[in-house]
């Protein structure tokens, strides 16, 4: 697993902190990973709709 650094707005940070505080996520990293998973899945679907079923994404069928 890679470690990265990002800059986000205060509003984004406060929302992420609230998700952790309510117990929905164990820590901020979990929130970011889940958001990234959802974003990637959404983009894969979008690309599949445009390009068709034959498109390969990072070695796997979309």
Q: Alpha-carbon distance 62 to 53, whole Å?
A: 7
pLDDT of residue 46: 86
Q: Over the chain (62 residues), what is each successive 10-residue block's mean pLDDT?
A: 94 98 97 96 86 62 51
Rounded to two decimals, the pTM is: 0.74
pLDDT of residue 49: 79
Domain chopping of the chain, boundaries: 10-61
pLDDT of residue 60: 60
Hey, how many other C-beta atoms are within 10 angstroms of the C-beta on 30?
14
pLDDT of residue 35: 97
pLDDT of residue 12: 97
**DSSP of 24-43, one letter per residue?**
SSSSHHHHHHHHHHHHHHHH
Closest CA to 33 of 50, 45, 16, 9: 16
């Amino acid at each position: 697993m890679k470690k990265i650094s990002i800059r986000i707005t205060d509003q984004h940070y406060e929302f992420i902190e609230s998700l952790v505080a309510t117990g929905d996520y164990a820590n901020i990293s979990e929130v970011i990973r889940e958001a990234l998973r959802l974003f990637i899945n959404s983009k894969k679907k979008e690309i599949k709709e445009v390009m068709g079923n034959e498109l390969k994404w990072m070695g796997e069928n979309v």
